[in-house]
Structure 1
Amino acid sequence: MQITINSISFIKNHLLLPLIAFVVLLLCMEFTQLDLWLASHFYNTELKLWPYREHWLTQTVLHKAGRYIVYTIGVMLLLCWLTAFRSKSALSGYRKHLTFLLLASLAGPLIITYLKSHTHIYCPWDLALFGGNKPHIRLFDAIDNRLTVGHCFPSGHSGLGFTFVSLYFFFLLVKPIYKYHGLVAGLVAGFIFGINQEIRGAHFFSHDVFALAICWFSSLLLFMIFFCRQFK
């Protein structure tokens, strides 16, 4: 079944409104102490440590096991994609859709990985404010050339969860009734991973918001490229 998409409505709801929300939230976090205020609730100032940094639930279950669960789902998606190219496969009619889903699921984490290796924004547990030795640098702050790369921004772990927002666009064409199920799956997974890392002291809330924006807009761009003929 060929589904036609109203381009004006689609752009407004999927690009303009999310972009405005992201910019407003970004400015709020950039020019307030929201990140520091949230992080301070998980840092023990008396003991000068993050109590849940190595906790079995936050470290072993939600961080390590959660990452492997996402990798497993990724392998399953790859197998589905390969199966779709076999003759007489039940998935052969979804080759283009599965190709989009595979690329969209990879795009966000890959972009985040690249940015993490080039930005000078540090994790909360690295900051002098929380027992570390690094300065608190925000997105628009000037950078001292002597500083090393932070390897912390945007959040890679929450990005693994937020990458599932690509399911929203996948179901939008394959099974529209399930599109919000896909969106909720991505948001829930991303925020569970993100909040867990905030509790551990690994990331600020802004790091997670940026990861979500990257996953959403990269999926949106690929969707518009792959299915441009279905816009009217």
Structure 2
Amino acid sequence: MLIAALLILWIGNVTDIDLALADAMFDRARNVFPWQHAWLAERFNHELLKTALQLLGVTVVVVTLWDRFRPFRSWTMARRTGMQVLAWSAVLVPAVISLLKRFSTSHCPWDLQRYGGSEPYVRLLEMMPAGIPSGHCMPAGHASSALWLLAVAVFWLPARPRMAAAVGAIMLAFGFAVGWLQQLRGAHFLTHTLWSIWVAVLIVYLLYRILGARNRRAALA
């Protein structure tokens, strides 16, 4: 996790990868991000898909709460742990990322002078110039609506670690794709999405360790 964090910091603070990708997505002739209001990126990805994923998350939480008070007899300890991790992830991944955004000074690409906005481009570890309001744009909030699904991989742990890794990779790819469509709109830089992925991985890992250990102790009691 530390190496991944350092790599993301390097991408955002040393390289120009963020700017290069945003430049490629921006139409300077029209001074606009062509995908900003595209149906796939705005209506489907940012509205319909987000709503569907939120409803799925609510369903997972309700089912898990039901099991908490009226346990499903058919559920194994592994399935119960998986559902608990999934439910907590559905709540914590979006919530933590939303909280981090409140403390973020970073602006979204479409707010920057470089892309027709009014704000300067400031890297993560640089000080925001005096008088410039915080942008509250990092990590990528919309990607978090999908990244909690990384917890689906837990259902294959510890018995099938390779399958868990494969499912986890698919879920991360899905979350990245959701974030990528936001990047096409000019809503985020690459590193904004990468930080969301990093936070999601950390949360799911900690939840699995904590809840898995608790359920094992309960089974032995």
Q: Report whether the alignment pairs 1:57 with 2:19.
A: no
SS at match of 2:18: helix
8 Å contact kept, 2:81–2:208: no
Mapped to 2, the partners of 1:19 and 1:167 lie a distance apart of 23
8 Å contact kept, 2:61–2:88: no
**Are residues 87 and 222 of structure 1, via their aligned partners in 2, closer, same or farther at CA, if it must alter by over 3 Å?**
closer
RMSD (CA atoms): 2.2
Q: Report whether the alignment pairs 1:183 with 2:147.
A: no
Q: Report whether the alignment pairs 1:84 with 2:77.
A: no
Partner residue of 1:103 out of 76, 80, 88: 88
When normalised by structure 1's length, the TM-score is: 0.83
Partner residue of 1:72 out of 51, 55, 67: 55
Task: Tell me the equivalent position of 2:131.
Answer: 146
Mapped to 2, the partners of 1:213 and 1:87 lie a distance apart of 33
When normalised by structure 2's length, the TM-score is: 0.86
Mapped to 1, the partners of 2:133 and 2:159 lie a distance apart of 45
**Are residues 87 and 212 of structure 1, via their aligned partners in 2, closer, same or farther at CA, if it must alter by over 3 Å?**
closer
8 Å contact kept, 1:43–1:49: yes
**Are residues 96 and 191 of structure 1, via their aligned partners in 2, closer, same or farther at CA, if it must alter by over 3 Å?**
closer
- Residue type at the aligned position of 2:11: C
Mapped to 1, the partners of 2:76 and 2:7 lie a distance apart of 42
1:228 to partner: Cα distance = 3.8
Q: How many residues get paired?
A: 213
- Residue type at the aligned position of 1:114: L
1:20 to partner: Cα distance = 1.2
8 Å contact kept, 1:124–1:203: yes
Mapped to 2, the partners of 1:53 and 1:152 lie a distance apart of 16
8 Å contact kept, 2:89–2:151: yes
SS at match of 2:125: coil
8 Å contact kept, 2:11–2:18: no
**Are residues 78 and 88 of structure 1, via their aligned partners in 2, closer, same or farther at CA, if it must alter by over 3 Å?**
closer
- Residue type at the aligned position of 1:69: A
**Are residues 87 and 49 of structure 1, via their aligned partners in 2, closer, same or farther at CA, if it must alter by over 3 Å?**
closer
Q: Which runs of 4+ in 1 moved over 4 A?
A: 174-177
Mapped to 1, the partners of 2:6 and 2:52 lie a distance apart of 31
Task: Tell me the equivalent position of 2:219.
Answer: none
Mapped to 2, the partners of 1:121 and 1:39 lie a distance apart of 15
8 Å contact kept, 1:166–1:182: no
8 Å contact kept, 2:46–2:142: yes
1:64 to partner: Cα distance = 0.8
**Are residues 173 and 76 of structure 1, via their aligned partners in 2, closer, same or farther at CA, if it must alter by over 3 Å?**
farther
Mapped to 1, the partners of 2:130 and 2:144 lie a distance apart of 28
Q: Report whether the alignment pairs 1:28 with 2:11.
A: yes
Q: Cα deviations across residues 66-124 of structure 1 (Å, max 9, x unaligned)?
A: 10121121022123213423255433754444222211332221111011112110000
- Give 5+ residue unaligned stretches, structure 1: 1-17
1:188 to partner: Cα distance = 2.2
- Residue type at the aligned position of 1:200: R
- Give 5+ residue unaligned stretches, structure 2: 217-221
The residue correspondences of 1:107-118 to structure 2 (distance < 5 A) are 107-118=92-103
Q: Report whether the alignment pairs 1:215 with 2:219.
A: no
Task: Tell me the equivalent position of 1:171.
Answer: 156
Mapped to 2, the partners of 1:208 and 1:141 lie a distance apart of 19
**Are residues 214 and 192 of structure 1, via their aligned partners in 2, closer, same or farther at CA, if it must alter by over 3 Å?**
same
**Are residues 99 and 178 of structure 1, via their aligned partners in 2, closer, same or farther at CA, if it must alter by over 3 Å?**
same
Task: Tell me the equivalent position of 1:7.
Answer: none
SS at match of 2:30: coil
